[in-house]
A and B are shown apart, each in its own frame.
Chain A
Amino acid sequence: AQKVTQAQTEISVVEKEDVTLDCVYETRDTTYYLFWYKQPPSGELVFLIRRNSFDEQNEISGRYSWNFQKSTSSFNFTITASQVVDSAVYFCALSGRAFTGANSKLTFGKGITLSVRP
């Protein structure tokens, strides 16, 4: 069974602070994908990043960076110099390699509500 744990439920920071959102996952698949999505109040899930299990390189995209550590089954997300527009719910998700369709679903964590105050 696949599981994603986002232990932090709510985080509040002041604008320009750095913030790290934690994600720990469990899977028996040797090939899998990890995702982060942002959900603003409008409800739509906005894709931020996908990482496959064979690529442990950290990635940076503007103010966003991701740290994938297979040894600790973690895929953490850092926002540098946070802005008010970063306020949203952030979800980490996991998908197995779907050869038969059994693992084609996304398994989501419960989400982290990030509030960035001016």
Chain B
Amino acid sequence: DAGVTQSPTHLIKTRGQHVTLRCSPISGHKSVSWYQQVLGQGPQFIFQYYEKEERGRGNFPDRFSARQFPNYSSELNVNALLLGDSALYLCASSTMFQVEEAFFGQGTRLTVV
């Protein structure tokens, strides 16, 4: 079975632009979470979606939004990019609403210039 897949793997954007990151969970997993990992830090929780509904939101500005599709894949959108948004964005999928077993993708490395 395929693991969690994220696309693209690398991305360079200019300040003020918009970006969309994509995540496909493991087959059968209905929960997707997004994390931001700034260089040298641990991942920070952004969103969790379960059964296409937002179930949790971290301390991020409204420029960050996400959604989950009927096939349980998910998109993370960031508007009006700032230099500080440069980070590794990780997607995690799990079978259940809770995170007892969360499996992570390899991430999308976003660089804002």
Query: Chain A interface (Cβ within 8 Å of chain B)?
Result: 4, 33, 37, 42-47, 50, 91, 93, 95, 97-98, 101-102, 104-111
Contacts and interface: CB of A to CB of B under 8 A. Distances in A.
13 contacts: A37-B104, A43-B107, A44-B106, A45-B92, A46-B104, A91-B43, A101-B48, A104-B33, A104-B99, A105-B45, A105-B56, A106-B33, A109-B42
Interface string B51-91: 00001101000000000000000000000000000001010
Given A33-B99, A110-B40, 12 more contacts: A43-B88, A43-B106, A44-B106, A45-B43, A45-B90, A93-B42, A98-B99, A104-B33, A104-B56, A106-B35, A106-B102, A111-B41
A44 B107 contact: yes
A101 B42 contact: no
Contact of B33 (A44, A105, A108, A110): A105
Contacts of B45: 105-107
Contacts of A106: 33, 35, 43, 45, 92, 99, 102
Contacts of B58: 105
Contacts of B102: 47, 106
A105 B104 contact: no
A104 B42 contact: no
Contacts, number: 72
A45 to B, nearest CB: 4
A104 B55 contact: yes
A93 B98 CA distance: 14
Contacts of A102: 56
A101 B88 contact: no
B1 interface: no
Contacts of B88: 43
A43, A47, A93 pick with most chain B CB within 10 angstroms: A43
Given A43-B88, A91-B43, A98-B97, A105 B103 contact: no
Contact of A105 (B99, B100, B106, B107): B99
Given A45-B43, A91-B42, A109-B42, A33 B106 contact: no
Contact of A42 (B40, B42, B56, B106): B106
